Amino acid sequence: MHKLSSAFRKELLILIRDIPGLAILFIMPVLLILLVTVAQNNALKSSKESKSDILYIDLAHSSFSLHLKQNLDSSGLYRLLTMQNQRQIDERIAKQLIANGDYPVGIIIEPGDKAIRLVVDPSLQSAYRTTLVGSLTYIIKGTQARIAIEDLLVTMAPSMATTMNRLIDDNINRMPPVTEIYPTHTNVSVKPSLIQNNVPGFILFAMFFIVIPLSGSMITEKNEGSFSRLRTLPVRIFLLLSSKVLLFLLVSMIQFILMLSVGIWLLPSLLGIPSLQIGSHILTLLMATIAAALAAIGFGLMVGTLASSPGQGALFGSVMVVILGVISGTFLPVYLMPTLIRVISSASPIRWGIDNYLEIFVRNGTLVRILPNIFLLLAFFIFAMIISIANFARQK
């Protein structure tokens, strides 16, 4: 026990003297999650507040065109434009403006409601064009159906038209509202948010970046002869590695608490968004964190024993962490990625750790739900330890 405590103290002294390494471990993840979340929040806010500009050319001036304009305005999705430079927009001007790429689409209603034409910018992205045209068509068809029903009622029972319209409006108002449901594995529903999705990714990102100080200290010990002198003492390789594991497990837990604090207090106070909900399964959360931290430590030890210089270890380790973080959902949800990338990311320990946190934070999952990924993370740690011990044993 005395040998382990002495080795732990040695590792602690090396770490606290490494100021750049401490900045990478604690300051960089906080700055990254702040910048990414602020950017995503601003983009989300602007997308909600922005409206698509629609050129509206009403040549009919009919009841239908009036209702259509009201429905488009009330949707909150579009801003209807009928004037350009204090001049009424006609069909020719509309086509010219859209052909120039100044506006995405225009609606032209022919006199007598004989035709309704959508003039669409051909350079629009396919997905956006499909969504835009589809939503406009839906509103137009809905307005046509409402006008057709009203005309039919007037034709069949002119004296009851007002009464029927009132009944229709009353029935529509009594219809149940559309609500959002987020199914979980318990009776508690947690609404996903930017923080709920970002914090898990950056917890794993921060943990795996311990590869830089951890591998750097190991390579420095080898190159300066410290490791050779330690091997002359009656100390086993396993004990030396265990001291590193214990120290960086403590570091990972501090990182975890720091990132939770950012999600619970700092980001909500800065952006005014809901705070991180960690659920009620604290023991499950602790086990998920320990498993992820051990996998990150195993990765750092393996890089440290395989690399021959601090620069090589730092470069390879940081590049691999960034690549694994990108494909595992740190910066972009995995479901938005191509199928091949999703398949590759399923073999990433960062992906396993992120999935565990998402299961706990977003789905309020239990220990049983995350056990497979915990086993995978522990298996990766054991594999990395075996590789590290074998490499240490070969080195003189």
Contact 389, 238 (CB under 8 A): yes
* Residues 59, 199 within the same domain: no
Q: What is the mean pLDDT of the chain?
A: 82
Same domain, yes or no: 230 and 340? yes
Both 238 and 145 in one domain: the answer is no
Query: CA torsion sign, 181 to 184 to 185 to 186?
Result: negative
2 located within any domain: no
Is 159 in the same domain as 207? no
Assess if residue 384 is contained within a domain. yes
Q: CA-CA distance, 159 to 156, in Å (whole number)? A: 9
Compute CA distances 371 → 79, 202, 205, 333, whole Å: 51, 21, 21, 22
pLDDT of residue 185: 56
d(CA 196, CA 40): 13
Q: Is residue 264 one of the residues assigned to a domain?
A: yes
What pLDDT does 168 receive? 66
Q: What is the pLDDT of residues 196-236, one digit of tens each?
A: 888 898 999 999 999 988 888 888 777 766 666 666 656 67
Provide CB contacts within 8 A for 296, sequence distance 6+. 204, 207, 208, 210, 211, 248, 252, 349
**pLDDT tens track for 92-137:** 888 888 888 888 889 998 888 888 889 888 877 777 788 888 888 8
Place of tokens 């009622």: 153
Helix-helix angle 2-16:237-261, to 10 degrees: 50
CATH (domain of 155): 3.40.190
Same domain, 285 and 388: yes
Given the structure tokens 């739900």, which residue do they identify? 369
Q: Note down the domain range covering 73.
A: 51-174
Are 20 and 92 members of one domain? Answer: no
- Regarding whether 377 and 325 lie in a shared domain, the answer is yes
Total number of domains constituting the chain? 2
Q: Is 235 within a domain?
A: yes
DSSP 3-state helix, strand, coil percentages of the chain (rounded to 5)? 70, 5, 25
Residue 186, domain member (yes or no): no
Q: Residue 181 domain-assigned?
A: no
